[in-house]
Each structure stands twice: as C-alpha cells, then as structure tokens.
Structure 1
Amino acid sequence: MNIQAYLERYFIAHSCEVTKKTNSMLEIKLTEERDKALMNRPFYWQYVKSTGAIGKPFTLNLHTDKPQEDTHGEYIYLGSPRLQQIFNDLRQNEKLTRQFQLLKPSANTALFPWLLVNFKLIYEGKHRKEELFSLGINLVNGEMRNEMMDAVSALDFSLSIGDLCHTISPVIQPSSGFNRIEKLLQAYVDRQDHSWADHSLKSMQEEIDLLKHFIGDKENMDVFQRELAAIKSRYDPKITMDIINAGMLYLTGNALAE
C-alpha cells in the first residue's frame, strides 16, 4: 500500500485541506474534529469552548521518506506512532464505510459494488514486522484487485448516490467476498519464507534452557512459571491479520481501467 496515498485519502475524507504536496510530503490543515481526534490537547479545546473563542487547529507536516535532520515535520512509516493513531481512529469510529463514485453523467449510469478491505499483517516473534494490504473484490463478477486504495485514490466519492446513477445488486454476498479476500491474503502468507519463526523458536528454547539452568523448573515454581510465560510471550511466533477498515464502494464499470 502507498502510505502517502492512504494518508491523503484519510484526511480528504475528513474534510482536511491539503495545503502542500510533493512525492513524499503532505502538509495538512486539520479540521477541529481531526485536531481533537489526533493532537491530544483536550484542555485547549475545553478552554476554547468555555471562552467562546475560535479554535486554531494544527497543521501537520508529514513525510513518507525519512527527512533530513533539520527538516520540519513527522516521518510516517509502518509502525510510526502517528500512523498507528490513525489506524486506531479508524478502528474505533469508522470501521465500515459506504461511498459512491462522484459523477455528473448525462445518461443513466450503473455503479458496481466493490468490497474494499484494508488489512495489516503483523509478524511477531523475536522481531516484529508489519505489512499493509488493500484488497478489493467486485461483488458482481468476482474480479479481485490488489492495492485497491491506490487504484481509487484519484476518484472522487460521495456518501450519497448521484443523479442519474443506480446501483447493480451484488451477486456475491459481502460476507462471501470477504472470505475470498481473506483466503487470498492467507495464500500470500503461506507463500512467505517463515525462517524467522524458526529463528524465534530457537531463541525461545535457548532462553528457556537458561531459565532452567539458573532457576530450575521444580524449585521456585511460581517464579519459574512467571518467567516462562514472559519468554513465550516474547518469542512465540505468531501472525495476526488485523482489519484496519472496510467499505462498500460503488464504481462505474470502467473506473479502474488501466
């Protein structure tokens, strides 16, 4: 997933203004709502409300390539605090959206239902790794798309359907579409090199052997069990599929044409 396109779409969807943009930088003027959600300054907004003053939302300067030390702004990458904060905001408040491609057609126009799901794959063991995926499926013909957010990033959307537009009923139920997307992602996981998990298990066993040597598994049983649980929690390899958000997008038949 293109992180910059994802950020831009998130902020535009929340009525924030993109005041400056390059290939690796976004300057975003927040709305009051996004400032309250992201900037963690409740006392400021309480003061503004109590005095009747006009609040001044922050402007964010976000870089998706690591900036020079003297560059103003935040570096946004997988695992960065700001990106995690945005994911959490979406999880808590906007898990599912329903939007229609914004058009001004001169004749009746059909809009096809696409299910879009944004996932985060989390690999945890001795080390931690994250990957973002944006997958879509056409619920009429079953066509599937990778990097779906990138594919629709240039399109305009509305929460209500436009004049002269009508929707095509899905042939594939959203739950079945989600299952197909999940299987596609699982197949991707299965194809990956999982030597990292073997290395993590090896390190875990080495830690357990040291624990047995210094504490023993019979004496100080409470201490041993507590330390053993901590080691397993730290090293036991696992992969989590975390849904960031999902949505039904209604698009024209040629909206995603190459």
Structure 2
Amino acid sequence: MVIDDLNHFLKSFFQAHHCSILRDDNGILSVQLTEEMDKALMNRPFYWHYMKKMGHPGEPMRLTLITNPEMRNEQGEWIHFGSPRLQQIIHYLQEQEKYTKLFQQVNPTMNTPLYPWLVTNLKISYKGKYKRDELFSIGLNLINGTMKSDMMETLEKVPLQTTISDFCYTLSPLVKLKSGYLRIESVLDSYIENQEHKWAEDSLRELQSEAELLRHFYIEDTEDKQMEKEIQEITERYQPRITYQVINGGLFYLTSDIA
C-alpha cells in the first residue's frame, strides 16, 4: 500500500504534467520540463519575466533526480522522502491539484455504467527524534466498497478525461464521501497499529534523558519558569506523533473491470 517506489511516483507526476521523460534508468530520472513545471519548480521568476517582456518563448530546463542511494555520485539532484524537492512537489499538488473529477475514456456501442471511485493520495508523517514520511495512494469503490492500494499505478494505464464519453452514465455513490474517507483512514490506522514503533520508544527515552539532564542545571527555584520553558521545547522536539495529510484526490468514474 505504501508508495515506496519514489522513482515511480516522480515519473507519474511528470508524465501527468506533460513533461518528456529523457531517462529512466536505475533510479535516475531525467525529464524535460514544460514551462509550467519550470515556473513551479525551478525558481526562475526573473528569467520568465524577462522572456515575456522580450516576447520570447523561453526554454524550460531539464531536471535530473536521483532516487537510488548507490547512484548519488552521478550528475543530478538526490531526492528522498523528506527532501526539500519532494516537499516542493507535494506542496504543488496540494495547492494546484487538491481535488479533481475525471472520467474513463471509453468507446462503447451501448449504454455503459461508470463506477465512482474515491481516490486519495495521503502522506503519513512520523515525527520524534527522527522524522520519516510515507506516501499512500488508495482507491475506494463507492458502490461496493472495494478498496485498492497503489491506485495511481492503476490509473496510469487508464485514459482519463474531464468529460464523460458518449453512451456512458455514472452510478450514484452508495457510500458517502465522508464515510468513504473514514474507511480509508481506518485502513491507515490498522497499518500503523500493526507496525513496530521502536522509533517512538527511542524518542521518549531521548525526551526523558534530555529533560533529566536539564533539571540538573536548574537548582534555584527562581529559575523554574525558564526550566519549564526549555522542557516544553524539548517535549515539542522529541514527543513522538503521527499525522495524516491529504495531498490530493478526487472522484474517478471508471468501468467495472478497472480493478
């Protein structure tokens, strides 16, 4: 269920935004950016302002991302879960493409139903002594309750469009959106409950150790307020917590054989 293939996630992102894939080999992904993606990711506002002022089309950059640790010495940008570049891409998805509604493109000769799927891409963040993120893509059939992991990989193979095809009609959801999302959350809850949480135990030990060490430095009662303030800061830093964050999602109307 977890998207541990970061290279695949990135490739899907750039293909969805009409960027040409120049290289996809052993954890090295090179893409030719579009103007939109260059403006979104490469931080060149003055260049594009100048090109527009001069009446020139401008040249989007090429971007090479490396997800394979063994290839970090190759020419390109090392990207990993938690890296600024990945957070930038996730932020772009959150701001620009939070919600969508798409239909499977089909060419039927008779009336064909399309089933509503709630598709949600989420990030689970583990915060404590160390920080770690995981990405999930989950689809829920709102008619029969079927749930599918790695949903974006499935959708890659499906032609989608913003309008419904001729001779097609949509089925009304039997599962409400809020209820569907709660089902997806419950799957994530179960996933987390079934994990070992040594990272959380390590974080709590570090929190206790740091707090005890701090108390040895504060002997005078008059310093209690400062001590409590610093203990609170340590608690904020080391207290283990897990959060969910929706990156984006939407309603996808698909044929019955999609899953």
Normalised TM-score (structure 1): 0.92
Percent of residue pairs bearing the same amino acid type? 43
Once the two structures are superposed, the pairs formed by residues 1-258 of structure 1 within 5 Å of their partners are 1=3, 2-22=5-25, 24-66=27-69, 68-216=71-219, 218-256=221-259
Maintained 8 Å contact 1:67/1:75: no
Which deviations, in whole Å up to 9, do the C-alpha atoms of 1:9-61 show, x marking residues without a partner? 22222222223334633322211111111111111111111111121111112
Which deviations, in whole Å up to 9, do the C-alpha atoms of 1:235-258 show, x marking residues without a partner? 1110011111111111111122xx
1:24 maps to a residue whose letter is G
Number of matched residues? 256
Secondary structure of the 2:71 match is coil
How far apart, CA to CA, are the structure 2 residues paired with 1:13 and 1:68? 25
Maintained 8 Å contact 1:135/1:146: yes
Change (3 A) 1:219 1:241: same
1:250 maps to a residue whose letter is Y
Maintained 8 Å contact 2:72/2:78: no
Structure 2: gaps of 5 or more residues? none
Maintained 8 Å contact 2:26/2:68: no
Structure 1: gaps of 5 or more residues? none
How far apart, CA to CA, are the structure 2 residues paired with 1:214 and 1:126? 22
Q: Displacement, 1:69?
A: 4.8
